[in-house]
Amino acid sequence: MHRFYTHQEDVGENSLIIRGDEAAHMRNALRMKAGDEFIALDGSGIDYTCTITSIAGIAEAYIIKREANLCEPAVKVTLYQAYPKLAKMNEIVQKAVELGAAAIVPFLSERCVKRPFGQGEKLSRVALSAVKQSGRSVLPEVPDVQSFEDALARMKRHEQLIVCWEEETQASLRGVLQTDAKDIGIVIGPEGGFETAEIETMIAIGGDVVTLGRRIMRTETAGIAVLAAVFYDKGQMQY
Count other C-beta atoms under 10 Å from residue 81's C-beta: 26
Residue 1, burial from CB neighbour count under 10 angstroms (0-12, 13-18, 19+): exposed
Global pTM reads: 0.91
213 part of a folded domain: yes
Residue 239 located in a structural domain: no
Residue 140, domain CATH:
3.40.1280.10
88 within domain boundaries: yes
In the chain, the percentage of residues whose pLDDT exceeds 70 is 100
Check which CATH number belongs to the domain holding 7 and give it: 2.40.240.20
User: Are 17 and 114 in a shared domain?
Assistant: no
Q: Crossing angle for the helix pair 89-99 and 120-134, nearest 10 degrees?
A: 40
122 and 18 together in one domain: no
pLDDT above 90 (res 85): no
Tens-digit pLDDT profile for residues 130-160:
999 999 999 999 999 999 999 999 999 999 9
Q: Has residue 18 got a pLDDT over 80?
A: yes
Provide the pLDDT confidence category of residue 114 given band limits of 50, 70 and 90: confident
The residue range of the domain holding 55 is 3-68
Question: What pLDDT, in 10s, does the model give residues 158-194?
Answer: 999 999 999 999 999 999 999 999 999 999 999 989 9
pLDDT of residue 162: 97
Q: How many domains does the chain contain in total?
A: 2
Q: What pLDDT, on a 0 to 100 scale, did the predictor assign at position 113?
A: 84
* Same domain as 64, residue 87: no
Write down the mean pLDDT value for the chain.
Answer: 94
pLDDT digits (tens, 9 = 90+) for 225-237: 999 999 999 999 9
Residues 26, 88 share a domain: no
The answer to whether residue 238 sits within a structural domain is: no
